[in-house]
Each structure stands twice: as structure tokens, then as C-alpha cells.
Amino acid sequence: MNPAPTPRIAVVGAGPGGLTCARILQRHGIPVAVYDHETGPDARNQGGTLDLHEDNGQIALREAGLLDEFLRVSRPEGQEMRQLHHATGAVMFHHVPEDGERLKPEIDRGQLRDLLLNSLRPGTVRWGRTLRAVEGPTEGPRRLRFADGTSAEADLVVGADGAWSRVRRALSGATPQYTGISFLEAWFHDVDKRHPDIAGLVGQGSAAAADGEHGLFAQRNGGDHIRVYLIQRVPADWITVQGLAADDTEGIRGVLLDRYRGWSPRLRRMLSDNEGGYIDRPLYALPVPHVWEHSPTATLLGDAAHLMPPLGVGVNLAMLDAAELALALAHHDTVDDALLAYEKTMLPRSADMQHALDGRAADLLSDEPHVPEADRH
């Protein structure tokens, strides 16, 4: 009897979830190709810092054989958290991690991506491949059509392509809906020298403040940087509604200073002293729960499967999804059996979390301690 042919596996998306899946597959001797729309690994800034939890993200890194390296380069001091009073700037809550605490150390998103990319075999990631559609019958094979006119055939397509997943369209008609809450991102560089007051407020980890309608979440990144996320309950197109353009930094700053006028002058510097422009990031979430009819040739992980409000779970669930999918493929005789096993665990878990977080984007405006996760940008 001839052995079954090795399935052709295509992962779409070179974020933490897609790369974790590819790494674990390769550790088990399973070939995989990863396709990503970016032109290369340095095409853009990868975003802020991530906290990887012991009970999901770190489990995935252990399966990837990268946990020790992660712990060497991560920032356990980044687990420090402060809740500040919006009107006075006074500290209302302060968590300082104990020596050796590894519950959820921080790592810059770009650093995590490099850790995963460098662990893959050369040529695994095919850059500059913007997916347009997944074609072919449900039973396979599937054909991936890219914007540059090229295509690829696969026996399994894994959608790790985020909130606006193209792979999801082959499985589900669901689309993300605006949560009513929007982030506006501001950057500060060389903070200990150029912005010492802001650096002192934020500390080595993160600081948050809110008044019920407006909030901010400031997070120290590696390399002496701080990112601040200004949080508002506004229409998704609020900048346009104000008669402004996204690159009208001074105009947007004026609106913010008016909206945050009752805030402490020290905190208002986090929305006025930033270097460069603001980045608009309205928050979206998938319908609750998001499920789809099983396919033997396609599945989803991470935000493509269960986009939720950024309350500290996104990247961790994506990496846990990736690990469980890769291990299922390594330990089952057929792709279909592996997908059935993976989805039997992943779908109920993600549905439970979606229900728990449904409508809770507004928690980001609460004056209670909260830890939004800036991991999807």
C-alpha cells in the first residue's frame, strides 16, 4: 500500500498565530507555506507590546521550542500596572510584579515576530502575496488567488489573516461590526530624556485612566518608547464627522484637548506632546458566537475566527489556536480528522470568550483597572 501523500498546507497571514502554526508544523516534519500581503518582514512597524500568558501564549511557545528564548528577551518588569485618577493624575491602583513573576511578561510585537520568523526554514514565508480569494470545491483541492496574478494550490488553507480575513469568506458570511469604541494611537520616543514626566507616570509597564466617556492607556515598549491609546465612545468615522482628515494632527489635537479638558494637565500631555501624527484604530468584533459549517480543507485561527474587543486575550488565543491546530495535524491520520479535533476544542472555547467579552469594549472607559491589548496592529 502506498502511503498517503503529504498534504499541501497553506497558512495565510504571517502574524504571531500564523507563524506559530508554521513553526510547530515544521518541528513535526510537516511542510507548510505561509503567504503574507506585506512586501517583507520590515515593511512596517509591527505595533506595540504584547503580554504572553502562562496558560495560553506561553504554552504555544513551549510547543514551538521557543519559550526559553522568549523568557530571555521578554520584559517581566512590563507587568507593572497603574490606574490613575483622570482629574488629578493620582495613582489609585498599582501592581508591581514580584521578582521572578512570569505570569504575563511583555514583548514587543516586532520582537516576537522576529523570534518566530528566525525559527522557520528559509523561504517558508512568501512575501508580497495579497490574497484575493480562496477558490475550489469544499472537498479540495483549494486554489489561492493573489492580487499579483499568481496562485497556489493547497489541500488545507489556514486563515490566520486577522480581522478582515479573506480566508473567512470561504467559510462564513460574518463580518466584523464596530463596537462603538475607538482608539487613537500616539507615539513617544526616547521618553526618559525627552518626556520624563510621561515616563514617570507610566513606569516600566502600563498606566490607564478614564472618566466614563474618555480614557487612555499608555504602555512602555522596548527601546525607550511609549505608545498611548486614547479611547473614546465615538462613531467610527468621528474624524471625518469633525470635518478633519486623518493627517490633520493639529486639528485632531485641538478636538482632543477640548474633550479631555477636565483631565489632569500631566495626563493631557499624553494626548498633546506626541511625536508625529495620530493613528485611528476603531475597534471591531465578530458576531457572537462566530461559527461556520465544517470544511475538510479550510479553517481559521485567531482574529479571523473570533475577533473580540482588546481586553487582553487576542494574541494569546491566536497562538494557542495555532499550537492546537498544528498538533492536531501532526497527530491525526487525515487533515479532516485533525480539523474536526481542533474545531471541537477551539470553537467552544472562543464562543465562551466571545460571550464573556461581548459588549465589554466600554470597559476600556471605566475607572476600574483594565488592561487593553494593543496586539493586532
* Residue 260 neighbours by CB distance under 10 Å: 23
Query: How many Cα neighbours within 13 Å face the side chain of 242?
Result: 20
Separation CA 74–CA 66 (nearest Å):
12
Closest CA to 20 of 136, 139, 125, 91: 125
Separation CA 76–CA 256 (nearest Å):
33
The SS3 assignment for 348 reads helix
* Residue 323 neighbours by CB distance under 10 Å: 24
Q: Is 161 annotated as a binding residue?
A: no
The SS3 assignment for 171 reads coil
DSSP type of residue 211? -
As given in the structure block, the three cell numbers for residue 52 are: 504572553
Place of cell 481586553: 311
Closest CA to 303 of 250, 375, 206: 375
Q: Is 303 annotated as a binding residue?
A: yes
- Strand-pairing partners, residue 75, are 106
Give backbone dihedrals phi and psi of 34, rounded to 5 degrees, phi first: -115, 130
Q: Is 192 annotated as a binding residue?
A: no
Specify whether the CB–CB gap between 235 and 112 falls below 8 A: no
Write out the E strands in the chain.
9-12, 33-35, 49-51, 81-84, 91-95, 106-108, 125-126, 131-135, 142-146, 151-154, 156-159, 177-188, 206-210, 214-221, 225-233, 279-285, 298-300
Q: Is 113 annotated as a binding residue?
A: no
Specify whether the CB–CB gap between 80 and 98 falls below 8 A: no
Specify whether the CB–CB gap between 10 and 152 falls below 8 A: yes
Q: Give the residue numbers of the binding site.
A: 44, 51, 109, 303
Q: Give the residue numbers of the binding site for NADPH.
A: 44
Q: Give the residue numbers of the binding site for FAD.
A: 51, 109, 303
